[in-house]
Structure 1
């Protein structure tokens, strides 16, 4: 039995190509890079994904890429079109609203559980995460250049800290998946709403420290709802109604007077939740 299991593991590694120095298969590394490129908008909504070109970019074989893209299709980030191949999932006003509603449902429930169970270590984690996020928000408000992935990583760490003590691994996994789909919309629109967003994060922190889950849910609903209204009002999603356009064509927050944000590079890096 042990011999058979070992052979199976080796076969899986062989299909993925190789193992890097940290024991991560080439296939898994490619999956993380492709996923990050989708979430951060480097692969634009509706963009066709040619396997030959992706093989050169991500260093994985065609059969491995098919498996990875099918996996991403199950997460709602890729569309598999049978014989036509694969493309990045499109964006729409209706989908963004649905994703937002699901995030609110999951995160509000997780916050309620977390506020009830969290101890001093949990409180310390929430305060520390907010401190880092608030520091970057102050830089954005001062119109300083900020790397977008660092900003959104700190945003993720704060929201994750709020629900970290909920006690449900499944709930945390579901929330992480829907957070990334929400994040993709923010990256497509390059959203920073300025002081109101920073104030909403502060309200969430205060609610957590006072263990007021009702106030936290209200603050979260306002936080997410205001983001949706900002994105839909900007018309940013309309650019992706048909053929994909380069993500760089999106106006930067600096151009909109909302703080300078450096767009991520074309090379794949981990998403905000890793």
Structure 2
């Protein structure tokens, strides 16, 4: 979610794909919203034919639904999908933790330290009431979780986890509120367990962390 560009040359379609994807995950394009091609063409400055291709790509992540001849709409949000994404994230992330902790080296530890430093700084601002740091927190939250599993040596696992993480994050953006001190404490404990290479301990924290996220979204009352 809201990941910085890699520095690799991107095509216009790549840039628009990323922008529409971010708009869906952030809630700018709301669940169930119709995507009117003529309006979207002007908004994203791209041809209708390219826009159709991009939206078709987004259907593979279940972020967009094709309606046959009627066009496209943003996939709806539901309690069922939230539960499914939480289960899938638990399986993928705990597996990746086991692989990563077993293979991690000093460079891996350095990535975790750097990622947690940025995340903790953003969370401190949020706890002080500075909601302007929400976008930073969204990016740094993923970078921290990514750093922890980055030594798993599986590009397929990382790509799949990234997609699931973003779709799970969409529900948090719908809740429109920061989870507070509890999520900060989770990240601090996960950071400590990672540096100790405590696989079982870190897996337990992640499982609890994900369930707390589900509970937070449901308690927000913003999910029908």
With normalisation by structure 2, the TM-score equals 0.94
Query: Does 2:116 align with 1:134?
Result: no
Query: Does 2:23 align with 1:37?
Result: yes
Given the alignment, which residue of 166, 181, 195 partners 1:180? Answer: 166
Quick one: higher RCO (CA 8 Å, sep 6+), 1 or 2?
1
1:214-270 CA-partner distances (Å, limit 9, x unpaired): 1111100111101101111221112xxxxxxxxxxxxxxxxxxxxxxxxxxxxxxxx
**How many angstroms apart in 2 are the aligned matches of 1:173 and 1:122?**
18
- Tell me what 2:186 maps to: 200
TM-superposed CA distance for 1:203, in Å, is: 1.2
Return the structure number with greater helix share: 2
Matches within 5 A, 1:227-238: 227-238=213-224
TM-superposed CA distance for 1:23, in Å, is: 4.0
TM-superposed CA distance for 1:32, in Å, is: 1.1
- Tell me what 1:270 maps to: none
1:22-71 CA-partner distances (Å, limit 9, x unpaired): 74222221111111101111100000000000000011111111111010
Whether the 8 Å CA contact 1:27–1:64 is kept in 2: the answer is: yes
TM-superposed CA distance for 1:178, in Å, is: 0.5
- Tell me what 2:88 maps to: 102
Whether the 8 Å CA contact 1:136–1:146 is kept in 2: the answer is: no
- Tell me what 1:87 maps to: 73
- Tell me what 1:168 maps to: 154
Structure 1 residue runs without a partner (length 5+): 1-21, 239-274
TM-superposed CA distance for 1:191, in Å, is: 3.3
**Higher Cα Rg: structure 1 or 2?**
1
Whether the 8 Å CA contact 2:122–2:133 is kept in 1: the answer is: no
**How many angstroms apart in 1 are the aligned matches of 2:177 and 2:78?**
16
Structure 2 residue runs without a partner (length 5+): 1-7
User: How many residues get paired?
Assistant: 217
